Structure 1
Amino acid sequence: MTTLPSVVVILRGLDPDDVLSATDALREAGVGAVEVTLNSPNALTSLARLISTHPQYMVGAGTVRTVRHVRAVAELGARFVLSPHTDAELITATKNHGLLSIPGAFTPTEIEQAWNYGADVVKVFPVHTVGPAYLRAVREPLDNIPLLACGGLTAELGRACLAAGCHALGVGIGLLDQRAVRERDWPAVTRAARRYLEEIRG
Structure 2
Amino acid sequence: RLAESLPGLSLGVGTIYHPWQAEEFIEMGAEFIVAPVMNAKLGDYCRKVDVPWVPGCGTVTEVFQATELGAELVKIYPANILGPDFVPAIHAVLPKVEIIPTGGVEPNLGSIKPWFDAGVLCVGMGSQLMRKDWIANGEYSKISSSISSVVNWIQDIKANQ
Between the aligned residues of both structures, percent identity stands at 24
Match of 1:167 among 121, 124, 139: 121
TM-score, with normalisation over the residues of structure 1?
Answer: 0.69
* Aligned mates of 1:121, 1:194 — CA distance in 2: 24
Alignment deviations for residues 49-99 of structure 1 (CA, whole Å, 9 cap, x no partner): x44664752111101011111111111111110111112221121122232
- Following superposition, the deviation at residue 138 of structure 1 comes to 2.2
Superposed counterparts of 1:37-186, under 5 Å:
50-51=2-3, 54=6, 56-154=8-106, 155=108, 156-172=110-126, 174-178=127-131, 179-186=133-140
Cα distance in 1 for residues equivalent to 2:34 and 2:130: 23
Worse overlay, 124-133 or 179-188 = 179-188
Structure 2: how far apart are the matches of 1:186 and 1:96? 39
Question: TM-score, normalized by length of structure 2?
Answer: 0.84
Larger fraction in strand: 1
Q: Is this contact kept in 1: 2:73–2:97, CA < 8 A?
A: yes
Secondary structure of the structure 2 residue equivalent to 1:169? coil
Q: Which amino acid aligns with 1:190?
A: S
Deviations 1:87-112 (A, max 9, x none): 22211211222321101111111111
Structure 1 residues 199, 182: CA separation in 2 closer, same or farther (over 3 Å shift)? Answer: farther
CA distance in 2, matches of 1:189, 1:80: 24
- Choose which of 173, 182, 188 in structure 1 pairs with 2:142: 188
Q: What SS does structure 2 have at the residue aligned with 1:170?
A: coil
Instruction: Say what the alpha-carbon RMSD is for the aligned residues.
Output: 1.9
**Relative contact order, higher structure (CA 8 A, sep 6+):** 1
- How far residue 128 of structure 1 moved from its aligned partner, in angstroms, is 0.5
* Structure 2: stretches of 5+ with no match in the other structure: none
- Decide whether the 8 Å contact of 2:100 with 2:120 is kept in 1: yes
User: Secondary structure of 1:138's match?
Assistant: helix
Does the aligned pair in 2 maintain the 1:51–1:76 contact within 8 Å?
no
User: How many matched pairs?
Assistant: 153
Q: Secondary structure of the equivalent of 1:123? A: strand
> Which amino acid in 1 is paired with 2:114?
A
When structure 1 is superposed on structure 2, of 182-191 and 72-81 the one drifting more is 182-191
Question: Is the Cα contact below 8 Å between 2:80 and 2:104 reproduced in 1?
Answer: yes
